[in-house]
A and B are shown apart, each in its own frame.
Chain A
Amino acid sequence: MKKSTISGKFTALFLCALLISAISGFAIADVIWEPEDDFYMSHAEDCEFYGKGLYSNGESGYLEFFSKPEGVGIGFAKNGELFFSQFSYASNDETWFVVEFTRNGEHIAPPDYSGDIEFGWVKLSDTIEQYDSADFLEQFSAEISSGEFTEDSLISMDIIAWTYPCSGEICEMIPDVDEALTFSNTYTDAEGRRWGHCNYYYGHRDFWVCLDDPTSESIPAVTQQELVFHQPNAETPPAATGNSVTMIIIICVAAVVILSASLIIALHKKNSADAQK
């Protein structure tokens, strides 16, 4: 076959493949933040929004992170650390969460956004879900009054937004609020302080305000969640899951590479021998 024909066919094939791939590769950005995790991106439709904190609580005293649900172990975090997950995935009898983290020496730690952020998956059974506003609303539903209202006394104030009444955990300080701040639930704590729950205010979501003391940052906390973590049996984490199987696969692939390379060399020698005849 003539060189020009091969070259022409090759060029045409290359351009077609490039064009088809370019067309199929366009994606429209979504406004929802999504983790840059390959498993999540290929299984996004099977994942559900979660949006809660998770305390690490593995039985060994360490929480194991995985490359993907039922994947290879990629490291451990000490129990008691608080992570946050936006999405969950159900696999067989286990629920998995995709989590951001940072490597801190030998261990995995909650994300430090000044450094490298990685993604991993953890099992629900190895965590304790953080108590949050949704849990508070459910637990104290009998004591919470529903109904939309505004609180004119808060206008122009710099208010403190809390995760839930008497949590001891401040979400943020919201400056110079206006009449758009609307509450949908009311709760009165044991000390008689009124609290208002706001679902959304100019990008601020799901927070509580102490209506009787909206600027105080020192409202005492009342413990709603007793956290008891598994203690580690050893100073170092156990062996990562799946590494023995992975090692076997690596050995098999190496064997295939060596075998095929040997056959290529044998083919080369055969061709050389035939060429000399």
Chain B
Amino acid sequence: MGNEIISSLVTSLALTLVLELLFALICGIRRWREILLVILVNVMTNPPVVLTHNLMRLNSPVFITIALEAAVVAIEGFAYKYSASSIKRPFLFSFGANVFSYLLGLLALHIYNGG
């Protein structure tokens, strides 16, 4: 059981990092400090959210998912605002990055499940 949770955490974080870094690169973020910041904010926010879903048996109501994702966008937005001077719209960037990774992650899961 523990192995499954750990596997879920690692897989989700890896996929999120790949997608959000891709989004950041597409949006023109090139400085290594800001790339590092993108990595750190996702390491900070992704595992707690995934673990929460696992502990709630992944049957959490939609509003819980929305609340968690909104909190993630806000926290990441603040991190970008105070630590990344070149990101002019930190909350919009955070929102876009999270929507991008969430939707493409959903697509990847759908393909993995043979949908």
Q: Is B71 in the interface zone, CB < 8 Å from A? A: no
Q: For window 247-269 of chain A, which residues contact chain B by CB distance below 8 Å?
A: 248-250, 253, 256-257, 260-261, 263-264, 267-268
Instruction: Say whether B37 contacts A71, CB under 8 Å.
Output: no
Given A20-B107, A249-B51, output 14 extra A-B contacts at Cβ < 8 Å.
Answer: A10-B92, A14-B99, A24-B107, A39-B58, A68-B57, A249-B9, A253-B9, A256-B43, A257-B48, A260-B40, A260-B44, A264-B41, A264-B79, A270-B33
Residues of A within 8 A of B100 (CB): 13-14, 17
Does chain A have a CB within 8 A of B55? Answer: yes
Indicate if the CB atoms of A72 and B1 lie closer than 8 Å. yes
* Distance of A102 from chain B, by nearest CB (Å): 15
Interface residues of chain B, those whose CB is within 8 Å of chain A, are 1-2, 4-6, 9, 23, 26-28, 33, 36-37, 40-41, 43-44, 47-48, 51, 55, 57-59, 79, 82-83, 85, 88, 92, 96, 99-100, 103-104, 106-107, 110-111, 113-115
Asked if residues A250 and B51 are in contact (CB atoms below 8 Å), the reply is yes
Taking CB atoms and an 8 Å cut-off, the chain A residues in 1-59 that contact chain B are: 1, 3, 5-6, 9-10, 13-14, 17-18, 20-21, 24-25, 36-39, 42, 45
- A–B complex contacts, Cβ < 8 Å, 30 sampled: A6-B27, A9-B26, A10-B96, A13-B96, A14-B100, A17-B99, A21-B103, A24-B110, A38-B57, A42-B113, A71-B57, A72-B57, A245-B2, A246-B2, A253-B48, A256-B43, A257-B44, A257-B47, A257-B48, A260-B40, A264-B40, A264-B41, A264-B83, A267-B33, A267-B36, A267-B83, A268-B82, A268-B83, A271-B85, A275-B85
Q: How far is the CA of A246 from the CA of B9 in the complex (A)?
A: 13
Tell me if A119 counts as interface (CB < 8 A to partner B): yes
Which residues of B lie under 8 Å from residue A14 when comparing CB positions?
96, 99-100
A residues near B (Cβ < 8 Å) are 1, 3, 5-6, 9-10, 13-14, 17-18, 20-21, 24-25, 36-39, 42, 45, 67-68, 70-72, 74, 118-119, 241-242, 245-246, 248-250, 253, 256-257, 260-261, 263-264, 267-268, 270-271, 275
Query: Known contacts being A13-B100, A14-B100, A253-B9, is A70 close to B1, with CB within 8 Å?
Result: yes
State in angstroms the CA–CA spacing of A74 and B55 once bound together.
10
Given contacts A21-B104, A42-B113, A264-B79, contact A13 B26 (CB under 8 A): yes
Given contacts A25-B110, A275-B85, contact A249 B6 (CB under 8 A): yes
Q: Which residues of A contact B111 (CB under 8 A)?
A: 24
Residues of chain A within 8 A (CB-CB) of B96 are: 10, 13-14
Contacts of A119 on B, CB cut-off 8 Å? Answer: 59
Contact residues in A for B103 (Cβ distance below 8 Å): 17-18, 20-21
Asked whether A260 lies within 8 Å of B43 as measured between CB atoms, the reply is: yes
Q: Could you say which residues of chain A place their CB within 8 Å of the CB of B99?
A: 14, 17-18
